[in-house]
Structure formats: structure tokens, C-alpha cells
Amino acid sequence: MQTSKVKPGELTTEGEPTHNNVIRSGEIVCQEVTKHFPENSRPAVDHVSFKVAAGDLVVLLGPSGCGKTTLLKMINRLYEPDQGQIWIGKEDIQTLPVNQLRRQIGYAIQQVGLFPHMTIWRNIAIVPRLLGWDEEKINMRCNLLLELVGLSPTYLGRYPRQLSGGEQQRVGLARALAADPQILLMDEPFAAVDAINRERLQSELLIIHRKLHKTILFVTHDVEEAFRLADKIIILKDGQLIQYGTPVEIVVKPENEFVAELVGSNNLLRKLSLFDVQSLLEAKQYERHNSFSKASFTSIQPQENLRTALSMLLESGAEQLHVVDNKGKSHGVITFQDLHRLLFEQFTSPAAELE
């Protein structure tokens, strides 16, 4: 994971003139949204309703053809729903001028779609220029964004084809964040990137999300990716919303056989690998055990997954693992019993809190 020197405050543009800001909220509400393509007999999206709280990272998960991309594209009106309504905050998006709406929603896609004849600077500057920002402000913004996505400012003068796939996707992310939108739509952005870079990009997206508190709707068919990133997951099948909940809820209480199979609820080790230590600690409501002896100190970092935690428990023979972050701060302990409880019993809030 990499650390960035960017401070959170620098990345928001508060005090912006609001004359062309049509979106002021990061909350998304879909109500009975339906989309039917003439060439198919069943609707691509079938009476889907959900609400995404501002600042949440919500993953739309499902097999190909389940309607997740169609649903995403209705939020920035690349597709128009046949029925139902979509609100962002208090605004029905149908009532907003479509290009103004899109300029205030970040959009990143799998093929990145960078403009090959424009430098990285010009690519990132597209939306800020459409919004009429002055050159100096765009320059500052470009530098900040490149730093945020972990690229050196020397990239600004290069062209997309001179960058690797992973670097292009970083630029794609920077471009989506360019005008500081409240909402980010991401359509399988990391699917075409190699495994090592994908994991790196996922970590960085989480860091960016934590820093900027954007509402992110993230489409993927990759279950591991969904569990790694999501605050909440929406599971879709044949255009219908099957389940909407936190990763823990979905694994522990899958709505039906389809969900259970999709997320591998029957495979214990797989199930464990979907959670990180942090989430178990949260599930335990930070029950802190202060009675550990320093002699038998086996520690684990909060972002490790629970399969690793289990192996460490087995290897060390210790009864509990102390959760210590890389700054040496203690976050509590987890025990074998906790793992057992996660898999077979219900934790009470906050992790199992239902919508």
C-alpha cells in the first residue's frame, strides 16, 4: 500500500461557485427502475429499488447479463429507464440537464476510454474545462490527482499509449475525480488489469474512498473484489435485485441458494478469506481484552483476511491474535472462538445492522 502526501482538505473544492452545480448530494435512490431492451424478451433491469447513503462504497455484483452495467448506466443517463425513478439527493435526475448531470458524476470504465490524441493533462482537464475552470486551478487539480492515484506529475505531458494498462486505469480514476464529483460510477474498472496491479488499485481505491468520502457505485462480477471493497453489496440476477446488505450479512445470511453459491457461503475457508480482521473487530464491537501477556504476543494487521488469521492461530498455537496496525497501535484481539462465531452465529451490530 502506498502513502500519499495529499491532505484530505486539499482535494475538495468547497466554496466553488454553485451556479452550475446541479448535484449537491451523494445519496442515490432508485425506485422500481426497469429497463427493457427491444432485442431481449425479459427486462435487463426489473423493478429494482434501493438507496445508497452518501459516502458509501456500494458494489453491484452478479454474473454477466444480470443487468448491473445497465443499472449503473441509468444513473448517469447513458440509458434511460422505461419505468421508475432515480433521485440524487432530492433531485429527480430526469429533471436535470443531462450533460450537466454527467459532468458532476465521475465515470470510469473497464476499457478506460482515455483520449489517445490528448496528453494526460488534457484528459484529466476535460470536465474541469467543460465547467469553465481557469487554467491555474486545473493545473493544481491535475497535480493533486496524479499524486492521489500514485503517478508522478511528469506523466501530465505524456500520451495514454505511452502508459501501461495499470497506469492508464489510474489516469482514468483521476479523470473521473477531476471535477470533484460527489458520486463516482465505476464499471468493472480493474477487470482488464493483471492480478498484482488489480490488488494494488483496489487498495488505493479504498484509501481514496476513505479520504474523499465519495459515494461510489462499483460494478464487478468478481466476488473477491466485491468483498474487498464494499461497504454494502447489491446482488443482481436476471435484472432483479436479490439481496442488498453488508458483506457479512450476505455471507452469513444469504437470501437464497443462488447468493450462497455465488459468494461461496458453503466453503468455510473461502468465507473466511472474504473478511479482513478489521471487520471481525468491528463485528465484535471493539470488545477490547486488556489481559494479554506480552510474552505470547502474536500480532496481525487489521487489513489481513481471516483465512490468514486462522493460519496464524494454527501455526502459533496461540489462543488469540493481537491486532496491531503498522503504526504499532493496538486494535484489540481476535480468538478462534470469534472466527467460529462469525461463521456460525450472528454478531449483533454494527456489522449485521440491517437496512
Partner 1 sequence: MNLLEEVIHYYQTNQAGFWQATQQHLVLSSAAMLISLVVGLPIGIWIAHRTRIAQVTINIFNSLRVIPSLAILFLVLPYLGLGFTPSLVALTFLAFTPVLINTYTGLRGVDRSVIESATGMGMSKKQILFQIEIPLAIPAIVTGIRIASVEVISSATLASFIGGGGLGDFITRGFALFDVPIMLVGAIPVALLALASESVWSIFLFLYQKPYAA
Query: Which distant-in-sequence residues (6+ apart) come within 8 Å of 230 by Cβ?
Result: 57, 58, 59, 218, 246, 247
Binding string, residues 44-83; x marks residues near partner 1 by CB under 8 A:
--------------------------------x-x-----
Query: Which residues, numbered 177-196, are part of the site for partner 1 (CB under 8 A)?
Result: 185
From candidates 88, 109, 205, 234, binder to partner 1 by CB under 8 A: 109
From candidates 103, 221, 228, 232, binder to partner 1 by CB under 8 A: 103
From candidates 93, 101, 248, 309, binder to partner 1 by CB under 8 A: 101
CA separation for the pair 52, 56 (Å, rounded) = 7
> DSSP state, 160?
G
Segment near partner 1 (CB under 8 A), from 99-107, 225-233, 272-280, 335-343?
99-107
Q: Per CB under 8 A, does 6 bind partner 1?
A: no
- Enumerate the β-bridge partners of residue 300: 323
Q: Per CB under 8 A, does 111 bind partner 1?
A: yes
Segment near partner 1 (CB under 8 A), from 27-35, 36-44, 49-57, 112-120?
112-120
Q: Per CB under 8 A, does 317 bind partner 1?
A: no
> Which set of grid coordinates corresponds to residue 297?
504476543
Longest dimension (CA), the chain: 68
Smaller CB distance to partner 1: residue 172 or 302?
172
From candidates 86, 114, 193, 241, binder to partner 1 by CB under 8 A: 114
Cα three-residue angle 109-113-114, rounded to 5 degrees:
125
**Burial 44-56, CB ≥16 within 10 A → b, else e:** bbbebebebeeeb
Smaller CB distance to partner 1: residue 164 or 337?
164
CA separation for the pair 234, 241 (Å, rounded) = 7
The amino acid that residue 272 corresponds to is: L
CA separation for the pair 217, 182 (Å, rounded) = 11
Interface residue list for partner 1 (CB under 8 A):
76, 78, 98-104, 107, 109-118, 126-127, 130, 159-162, 172, 175, 185
